[in-house]
A and B are shown apart, each in its own frame.
Chain A
Amino acid sequence: VSALAPIVFLVDDDAAVLRAVTRLLQTNGYEVRAFDSSQAFMDAHDPERPGCLLLDVAMPGVGGLELQQRIAAAGMERAIVFITGQGDIPTSVRAMKAGAVDFLTKPFDRAQLIAAVESAIEQDRSMRRKRAERRSIEERVATLTWRERQVFEHVLGGQLNKQIAAALGTAEKTVKTYRGRVMRKMQAASLADLVRMGERIGVTPARGRSADR
């Protein structure tokens, strides 16, 4: 989790709107970085910085929806709240499907704006948290040996030690030992905890043979 305070990025081609929204957010205690075009934002954007993006839909050059696509294509994650002067349904549906947090129609008041920004920042925060967690799990998985990884996958498949031993062609006692090492390396408190980690990073569970049944 980054230590930096959340920031609100604001992109709107209308200078007056840009100034007013910046002021409104600043007086409500937000740190704001305002840009008058998508290009200016892209040039200055720091994806590591937590916070959200307030984005105007209709702008000359690169429009809001296009910027949203570009951010996704660049592999960046940023909670986006769209603001628009002519909210039409097709546009808002497209924006929401592409993962927008909210769609504000101008003119919006302080309460609407703060609520949208808050929920966007919250979403950004949780996104960042999840990503950090995933990264730490992945780091731990990387420490497993090849054999331990096999046992881990079978455990995720819900198999008993005896079944794993049969599948891997080894003794049940040996499987038990590997299992203990996996639990330790993964810092799992319980089997359930281990399974949750595996699901979080998307490890494919191994499917056991049903010879015994």
Chain B
Amino acid sequence: VARQDGVQITAWDAGGVDAKSSARSRPDTGIESNSAQSTVGRIRLLITAAILCVAYYLGVQVGFALTLWPHPISTLWPPNSLLLAALLLIPQRYWWILFLAALPAHLAAQLGSGIPLTMVLGWFVSNCSEALIGAFCVRRFVSGPLRFDSFRHVSIFLLFGVLLAALLSSFIDAAMVTLVGWADQTYWRLWQPRFFSNFLASLTVVPVVLTWVAGSKEWVRRAQRWQHVELGLLLAALLAVCLLVFNRQEMGPGTAPALLYLPLPFLLWAAVRHGPLGTSTSLAVVVFLAIWGTAHGQGPFVISSPEDNARSLQLFLIAIGVPMLLLAAVIEERRQTEEALQASEQRSDNIFRSSPDPIAIIRRLDGALIDVNDRWEAMFGFSRAEAVGRTMQDLQLYADEGTHDIVTRLASDSGRLRDLSTDVRDRHGGMHTTLLTAEVADVGNESCVIAMFRDVTEQRRAEREAFEQRQELAHLSRVATIGELSGALAHELNQPLTAILGNAQAAQASLAGDRFDVVELREILQDIVQQDVRAGEVIRRLRQLLKRGEAQFQSLDVVQLVREVLELAHSDLVARNIKVDVRLSPGLPAVRGDRIELQQVLLNLIVNACESMSAADEPATRTLTIRGQAAAGNGVQLSIIDQGPTISPEHMARMFEPFFTTKRHGLGLGLSICKRIVTAHGGRIWATANRGRGAAVHVVLSADPEAQS
């Protein structure tokens, strides 16, 4: 109900800007504002009804005044049209009020002249029927208020509100007269003058009323003072011309027909400069004065019988009025389109000028700059005046000569660039990294490229710095892990060194004595070589982990990865008396990643697990399980399962956060770095509590797609 009310108010206040905008901005407002609106609506309704009542009465009087006696039918019969205009101003469900308001005016105006009541009422019915038919048809085809600034609205109005309504109601009117027996003429002769009269009245009165109701407020506010003056002058001139042409005694049938066209320039003036409002008003002036003059026996239309005179006058006025209304509508429509276009161009221009990214408009033919915006000037250091007419290559702005060709050879159909990383040089030689986005567009009938250079120099630098910091942090974490393992690693080196020294001195002793066994000596040397290789391997692996460098992704065998890490951690595991249980499912796919980074992750997790188990201080149950199995969605899941103390859920949730640690001397970076490394590999890492005791950390890595094919 609320919505309907809003819509109806919109229709009612034909073109009233206030009601329209309020209805639009508050389509679903509460009951309160709606009831307030409907109160205002009711008052307006009553005012409209009161005005109609008076206007109807006056309209009848005007109709009488514009009758070419003794021809009984008025040349212009305004009451019907006034009713039609009023109906178009209010919601359909209140129409009956207007009919009620018109009735007393009708009776008051007609009853005094000795016409029988049945005829008077019959005429009221036919008057109402015309307004009803016209209003109903227009409402049917036009949603919202009827406006005279659109060709479609005016056409619908002319076709239904004017032609159809006049046509049909004239049949009814003529039928009424015949039924009552008021006139003795044939039906056809009764119908014809009424039709023209009604037609002309609707054509003249309705546009004036509706455009003034709708447009007056807006027009007064918007138009310049000189526009008011101009319209005043126009109307005054028109008045003068019409008085001259139609209201002078000497203008008889003998006057030159050319004089009839004298009002035409003024009507055109109104149509071109003053829109529907000015045109309909001017038209009303011409119609009124022409009929007035003729009714008083003056002007060029006093030729033969009053009936014929009336018809030719009506035809003349209709022939002028219809095209004028259409012309005014078309011109107004074009003006509005133009305004919208200008506003849109203004907006586009504003966007171009004030864009936060440098934009250049480049002619495709020769690559010359047509226009550049403020940011472009700021970034490249050339002013618009310096840049326009030259190419960006001439100005040596492209770091790579090829960019010029890429931009100018952009194909017109599919041609567009999206965030192409492009290095440019500003006037002072400063280099900028930009993302070039370009598109072909017609600018002023020339095929151009609109090129946007988004400056990402700072962003790139920050990214690079962040990347380096991440690498540095990962390296530090590796060093810290190695530090924790230093004792174990020393052991790992000392084993082969002990063997080498022992073997060498055994050989020395054996050579010093008289008995030396060549076979044994060979075995000794073989052992020495082997142990030297072993020591070298430990050092190589250490260096690899300590090396700082960018990640190198390659295909990695999971089994080998786990074995290498366990070899590094071997001594630590033995020293802590921890048994390792490795369970890798056969046929695990290779994963893609950086060997050192993944080793770091596993080593970190193993060292963590060992530390938590050592803290538990229960030697009997120290087993570290490393499980590897195929993960859902083509990957490998590695689980490092310890038997240390159970981790509380809140610790479990925060484990991978930076600077979170439960160790006394821990930095709390290891696991957060592990997480970052795994995430950078497109994998996942998480922790779970074991059913019995201890915890498990799981890492899922995606399989290397290339290794599979």
B509 touches A110 (CB 8 A): yes
Instruction: Say whether B496 faces chain A, with CB atoms less than 8 Å apart.
Output: yes
- In the complex, the answer to whether A20 meets B574 with C-beta atoms within 8 Å is no
B164 within 8 A of A: no
Instruction: Flag whether A19 is at the interface (Cβ < 8 A).
Output: yes
> Which residue from B490, B495, B501 sits with its C-beta under 8 Å from A108?
B501
CB of A33, distance to nearest CB on chain B (Å): 16
Q: Which of B496, B497, B531, B571 contacts A58 (CB 8 A)?
A: B571
Q: Are A16 and B487 in contact (CB under 8 A)?
A: no
Cβ B487 vs Cβ A23 within 8 A: no
Q: Which of B510, B577, B579 has a CB less than 8 Å from the CB of A63?
A: B577
A108 adjacent to B491 (CB under 8 Å): no
Contacts of A84 in B (CB 8 A): 491
- A109 interfacial by beta-carbon distance below 8 Å: yes
Say if the beta carbon of A144 comes within 8 Å of chain B.
Answer: no
Q: Is A17 on the interface with B (CB-CB < 8 A)?
A: yes
B491 touches A85 (CB 8 A): yes
Cα distance, A85 to B531, chains bound together (Å): 15
B208 CB–A CB distance under 8 Å: no
Q: How far, in Å, is A178 (CB) from chain B's closest CB?
A: 57
Contact with B along A98-142 (1 / 0, CB 8 A): 000000011111100100000000000000000000000000000
Interface size class of A (residues with CB under 8 A): 20 to 34
Q: Does A24 contact B506, Cβ atoms closer than 8 Å?
A: yes
Report yes or no: A20 in contact with B494, Cβ–Cβ below 8 A. Answer: no
> Among B495, B497, B500, which residue has the most Cβ atoms of chain A within 10 A?
B495
Whether A88 is near chain B, meaning CB under 8 Å from some CB there, is yes
User: Which of B506, B524, B575 contacts A86, CB < 8 Å?
Assistant: B575
* List of A residues within 8 angstroms of B508 by Cβ: 110
Instruction: Say yes or no for A21: interface residue by CB 8 A criterion.
Output: yes
CB interface residues, A 1-51, toward B, < 8 Å: 13-14, 16-17, 19-21, 23-24, 26-28
Contacts of B500 in A (CB 8 A): 20, 107
Q: Which residues of A contact B497 (CB under 8 A)?
A: 106-107
Contact of B498 among A63, A88, A108 (CB under 8 A): A108
Q: Is B505 an interface residue (CB 8 A)?
A: yes
Best-surrounded residue of A24, A63, A105, A113 (most CB of chain B within 10 A): A24
Say yes or no: B499 contacts A59, CB within 8 Å.
Answer: no
**Which of B499, B501, B503 lies in contact with A14, CB distance below 8 A?**
B499
Instruction: Report Cα–Cα, A19/B497, bound state, in Å.
Output: 13
Q: Are A58 and B491 in contact (CB under 8 A)?
A: yes
* CA distance in complex: A147, B502 (Å): 61
Q: In the complex, A106 Cα to B505 Cα: how many Å?
A: 14
Given A16-B527, A58-B571, A88-B487, are A106 and B495 also a contact pair (CB < 8 Å)? yes
Query: Is A85 in contact with B509, judged by CB distance below 8 angstroms?
Result: no
Determine the distance from Cα of A45 to Cα of B357 in the docked complex, in whole angstroms: 86
Most buried by A among B490, B492, B494, B530: B494
A residues in contact with B527, CB < 8 Å:
16, 19-20
Min CB distance A156 to B, Å, is 47
Q: Give the complex CA separation of A28 and B512 in angstroms.
A: 11
Indicate if the CB atoms of A107 and B494 lie closer than 8 Å: yes
Q: Which of B488, B491, B506 counts the most chain A CB atoms within 10 A?
A: B506
Contacts of A27 in B (CB 8 A): 506, 509-510, 513
Starting from the known contacts A59-B574, A107-B502, A109-B501, 6 additional A-B residue pairs (CB-CB under 8 Å) come to A16-B531, A21-B502, A27-B513, A58-B571, A60-B574, A107-B501
Interfacial residues, chain A to chain B (CB-CB below 8 A):
13-14, 16-17, 19-21, 23-24, 26-28, 58-60, 63, 83-86, 88, 105-110, 113
A-B contact pairs, 29 of them (CB 8 A): A14-B499, A16-B531, A20-B498, A20-B499, A20-B500, A20-B506, A20-B531, A23-B520, A23-B524, A24-B503, A24-B509, A27-B506, A28-B509, A58-B491, A58-B571, A59-B574, A60-B574, A63-B577, A85-B494, A85-B495, A86-B488, A106-B498, A107-B494, A107-B497, A107-B498, A107-B500, A107-B502, A110-B502, A110-B505
B interface residues with partner A (beta carbon < 8 Å): 487-488, 490-492, 494-503, 505-506, 508-510, 513, 520, 524, 527, 530-531, 534, 571, 574-575, 577, 579
